[in-house]
Chain A
Amino acid sequence: MQPFKPVLLEAVGVPDGHTIASYKSRGGYAPLEATLAGKQPADVIEMVKSSGLRGRGGAGFPTGLKWTFLPKDHPGPIYLCINADESEPGTFNNRILMEDDPHQVIEGIILSSFATRASTAYLYLRYEYPKSWHRLQAAIDEAYAAGYLGKNILGSGFSLDVYLHRGAAAYICGEETGLIESLEGKRAWPRIKPPFPAIEGLFRKPTVVNNIETMACVTQIARRGVDWFKSIGVPADPANPRDPGSYGPKLYCLSGHVEKPGCYEAPLGITARELIDRFGGGVWKGRRAKAVIPGGISMGLMTESELDTPLDFAGPGKVGCLGLGTAAVVVIDDQTSIVDFLHNSARFFAHESCGQCTPCREGTSWSLRILERIKAGKGRLKDLDILLELGNTMGMMPGSTICGLADGAAWPMKNAIKKFRGEFEEYVKRTNPSGWMVTDPVPALAIVGAH
C-alpha cells in the first residue's frame, strides 16, 4: 500500500492545535477564503458531489446528493444541523475532531452552509462531551472575531451564525429527525419520512443534517481537491451501478480487547485485521479475537475468519453485518462469553429505545429480559429462536418501526445467534440442565428499568 499521511487527524498532538492561529498556520481557512472570493454555492455542491463523499455518521448517504434534495429557490430560512450526538457504542472519532481540531470542523460547516444557502447552523452536541463543548465554543468565538462567521463574511455577502445546542444523554438524538425534534424542544421521537428533512425539517423548514467527520472531509476536499479525495479508498464497483464507491480517508475507532485502543486514520477499505494488527498492536494479552464489531454495536459481529473483510461501505454487508456504520471497531477476545456480549448489547438498546414504536419498545425490552433469564441459568433452546423472531420482525427493514434503532438492536442479536449458535446452545444446556428443552411459556424475570 502507498504511504498514507493522516489529514483529518493532522492537529492531534500539535501544541495548541485547536486554536485558530495554529489552524491557519497549517493552511486552514484558505480554502474558505478562496471559495467565498470566487465560487458559487453550486460550485461547492458540484465539488462535493464529484468527490464521492459519503456521510460519515453511519448511513453512508452521498453528501452532495443529500444537499441537492433541498428545494431550489426557497425563500429561506434553510438550516444546517450538525450531528454531534455521537453515541453509537464504540465510537469517539467526532470527539477527537472537536477537541483537537475544531476549526477544521467549523470551516466545513461554513463551506457546507454556503453550498446549501443555510444562514443558521445548529451544532447538536451530546451532553457527555464537556471538553468538546468548551473547545467548540472557544473556536466559534475565534471564528466570529476573525470574520469567518457573522454578517457578510469576508465581504462576500454571505452570512452565517453557528450555535451550539446541548443534548441530554439520549442515543436516539443521533437519528436525524430525532435530533430535529430534540432541537425543537420536544421528546426526540423520530419522524415518519417522507417528508425528508430536506423538504420539511427543523422548524418545518428545509434542513440538512450532516455529521462532524463529514464536515471535516468537506474542508479537506476544498483544500486538497476532488482528485486527491478520489485517489484514496475503494472505487465504485463497475459491475454494480448502484455502488457509489468508498472514497477518502476515514477515522476508525479501535477499542475493546486490543493492545492500543485509539482513533486511527486510514484509507477506506482497510481490513479489520490490518487495523487491529498494524494500528492496535494486536489483540491484547496475546489472545485471539473471537468476534469483532465492524462499525458500532448496531452493525453486528464479524467472526475471526471474517476479519480480512475490507472496512469500506460495502464490505461488512458481505459478511452479514448491517454495514460500515461509524467504523467503530470493537474487538472481543476468545475468553469473552458471547452471551455476555449480547446481553450488554440488548441492555443498551432496551435503555435507548425511545418508546415511540411498539415493536421496538417491547422488542428491545423483551430481548433483554430473555437474555437476563438465559444469563441467570434459566434459558431454553427455544429462547434463541424467539430472539431471532424478535430480531426478524422489529425494524425499518421488516417495516414495523419508524427509524432504524430496532434494526440496530436486531443485528447484533441475529449475527451473534447465527454465527455463535453453538456457544449459546452449550451455555443454555450447561446452565439449565433440567430445563433447556422446555418449550412451554415461562414467566419473565423482574422487569428491567428502561425508557
Chain B
Amino acid sequence: MIAPGRTYLTDEMVAKIEALAPRYPNRQALTLPALHIVNAELRHVPLGAVAEIAAVLGLAPAEVQDTLTFYQFFHQEKPHGKVRAFVCRSVSCALRGGDQLLEHLCAANRIEPYGTTADGELTIEPAECLGACDFAPCILANDDLLKNVTPEAAEAELKKPRARAT
C-alpha cells in the first residue's frame, strides 16, 4: 500500500528499509539498501522515488540522486525487463566469445545494449567481469548464472521466465 503523500514507495518497501536501520549508526548508509529494495519492486528508481527515499532517510534528494547516478545500475527513465541479463565482456569471457555473444543477443532481440524489448520482457546489458571466468562466456540473468553459453543457447535461455532479482 502506498501511503498518502507518496507515489512510488509502498508501506512494505518502507518497512523493509526501516528493518535494516538498526544495522547502521546513521541513515545515509541505508541509501544503497533502499535503492535495491525499491528497484527490486519497480525495476527502476525514478526521480520521484528518489525524493521519497530521501524523505524516508532524512536526506536531500540530491544526496540520494548523487549516489544513484554513480553506479549506473539503477535505471531511472523506465523499468528494465522482467529478465535483466548482464552479458560479461571482460577479458576471460571476451577470449571465449563474450563480445560476439552480446552482439548476437542484441541483434536477435532487435535492441541495442542496455535496451529493453518492446514487450518489456528482456533487458540486455554489457557487464564487466561477473566473477565466473571458470564458466566463460557467461551471463547473469536475474539470479541465474548461465554458464559456458553459446549465442544460440543463450538466446533460448533468455526467452524463459525467471524469478525476479532480489
**Using Cβ atoms and an 8 Å threshold, which residues of chain B touch A88?**
129
The answer to whether the Cβ of A242 comes within 8 Å of any Cβ in the partner chain is no
CB distance from B54 to the nearest CB of A (A): 11
> CA of A427 to CA of B160 in the docked complex: distance in angstroms?
43
A254 cross-chain contacts in B, Cβ below 8 A = 134
A90 at the interface (CB under 8 A from B): yes
Main secondary structure of the interface of B (DSSP, over half): mixed
Asked whether A253 lies within 8 Å of B36 as measured between CB atoms, the reply is no
Nearest-neighbour CB distance to chain A for B106, whole angstroms, equals 15
B128 contacts A by Cβ under 8 Å: yes
Determine whether the beta carbon of A165 is less than 8 Å from that of B32.
Answer: yes
Task: Give the residues in chain B near A253, CB-CB below 8 Å.
Answer: 133-134
Assembly CA distance A317 to B85 (angstroms): 38
Are A187 and B67 closer than 8 Å at their CB atoms? yes
A169 close to B91 (CB less than 8 A)? no
The residue from B24, B73, B129 contacting A127, defined by CB atoms under 8 A apart = B73
Q: For residue A340, which residues in chain B have a CB less than 8 angstroms away from its CB?
A: 94
A91 interface residue per 8 A CB criterion? yes
Contact B134 A92 (CB under 8 A): yes
Task: Check if A167 sits within 8 Å of B91, measured CB to CB.
Answer: no
Residues from chain B with Cβ under 8 Å of A131 in the complex? 143, 145
Q: How far is the CA of A332 from the CA of B91 in the complex (A)?
A: 9
B32, A185: Cβ atoms closer than 8 Å: yes
Query: In the complex, which range does the number of interface residues on chain B fall in?
Result: 35 or more
Partner of B131, one of A92, A166, A256, A451: A92
Instruction: Assess whether A89 is in contact with B32, with CB atoms less than 8 Å apart.
Output: no
Q: With A89-B91, A253-B134, A255-B92 known to touch, is A351 a contact of B33 (CB < 8 Å)?
A: no
Question: In the complex the two chains form, is B31's CB within 8 Å of A90's CB?
Answer: no
Which chain A residues (229-268) contact chain B, with CB distance < 8 Å? 253-257, 261-263
Q: Pick the contact of B30: A92, A185, A348 (CB < 8 A).
A: A185
Known: A165-B32, A348-B91. A91 touches B133 (CB 8 A): yes
- Determine whether B118 belongs to the interface, using a CB cutoff of 8 Å to chain A: no
Chain B contacts for A203, CB-based, 8 A:
24-26, 29
- Distance in Å from the Cβ of A140 to the closest Cβ of chain B? 12
* Chain A residues within 8 Å of chain B by Cβ, number: 59
Task: Report which of B33, B73, B90 forms a contact with A169, defined as CB distance below 8 A.
Answer: B73
The 8 A CB mask of B118-143 against A (1 = contact, 0 = none) is 00000000011111111110001011
Instruction: Give the residues in chain A near B95, CB-CB below 8 Å.
Output: 256-257, 330, 332, 336
- Bound: A165/B33 CA distance, A: 7
Partner of B28, one of A168, A184, A328: A184
B8 CB within 8 Å of chain A: no
Q: Name which of A91, A133, A165, A336 has the most chain B CB atoms within 10 A of its CB.
A: A165
Residue of B nearest to A91 (CB): B131
Q: Is the CB of A166 within 8 A of B32?
A: yes
Rounded to whole Å, the gap between the CB of B70 and the closest CB of chain A is: 4
What is the CB-to-nearest-CB distance from A9 to chain B, in angstroms, rounded to a whole number? 13
A162–B60 alpha-carbon span in the complex (Å): 29
User: Please, which residue of chain A has its CB at the minimum distance from the CB of B92?
Assistant: A255
Contact, CB under 8 Å: A90 / B92: yes
| B13 beta carbon closer than 8 Å to chain A | no
A89 CB contact (under 8 Å) in B33, B67, B72, B129: B129
Contacts of B67 in A (CB 8 A): 185-187
Q: Does A293 contact B (CB under 8 A)?
A: yes
Say yes or no: B32 contacts A330, CB within 8 Å.
no
- For residue A120, which residues in chain B have a CB less than 8 angstroms away from its CB? 23
Contact at A187–B66, with CB atoms within 8 Å?
yes
| B-chain residues with CB within 8 Å of residue A297 when the two chains form the complex | 90-91
Flag if A90 contacts B32 (CB, 8 Å): no
Contact: A330 with B70, CB < 8 Å? no
Q: Could you tell me if B134 and A293 are in contact, using CB atoms closer than 8 angstroms?
A: no
Q: A112-159: which have CB < 8 Å to B?
A: 120, 126-131, 133
Q: Which residue of B lies closest to A127 (CB)?
A: B73
Q: Report yes or no: B28 in contact with A186, Cβ–Cβ below 8 A.
A: yes
Q: Please report the C-alpha to C-alpha distance between residue A183 and residue B73 in the assembled complex, in whole angstroms.
A: 16
**Interchain CA distance A91-B88 in the complex, whole Å:** 13
Query: Are B127 and A169 in contact, CB atoms less than 8 angstroms apart?
Result: yes
B74-112: CB near A (< 8 Å → 1, else 0) gives: 100000000000100111101110000000000000000
Contacts of A165 in B (CB 8 A): 32-33
Q: Which residues of B contact A309 (CB under 8 A)?
A: none
Q: For residue B131, which residues in chain A have a CB less than 8 angstroms away from its CB?
A: 86-87, 91-92, 94-95, 126, 128-129
Query: Distance in Å from the Cβ of A98 to the closest Cβ of chain B?
Result: 10
Separation of A122 and B33 alpha carbons in the complex (Å): 13
Interface-centre pick from B32, B67, B166 (highest chain A CB count, 10 A): B32
B14 interface residue per 8 A CB criterion: no
Instruction: Give, as a whole number of angstroms, the nearest-CB distance from B66 to chain A.
Output: 6
In order of increasing CB-CB distance, the 4 nearest A-B pairs are A185-B31, A255-B133, A187-B70, A185-B28
Can you list 23 A-B pairs with a CB-CB distance of less than 8 A?
A87-B128, A87-B129, A88-B129, A89-B133, A90-B91, A92-B134, A95-B131, A120-B23, A128-B127, A130-B166, A163-B23, A166-B32, A169-B72, A170-B70, A185-B63, A187-B66, A203-B29, A253-B134, A261-B133, A297-B91, A330-B91, A348-B91, A354-B70
Q: Point out residues on A near B: beta carbons under 8 Å.
A: 77, 86-92, 94-95, 120, 126-131, 133, 161, 163, 165-171, 182-188, 203, 253-257, 261-263, 293, 297, 328, 330, 332, 336, 340-341, 344-345, 347-348, 351-352, 354, 451
Using A120-B23, A130-B166 as known contacts, list a sample of 10 further A-B pairs with CB atoms less than 8 Å apart, ordered by residue number in A.
Answer: A89-B90, A89-B129, A90-B92, A95-B131, A128-B130, A257-B95, A293-B91, A297-B91, A348-B129, A451-B70
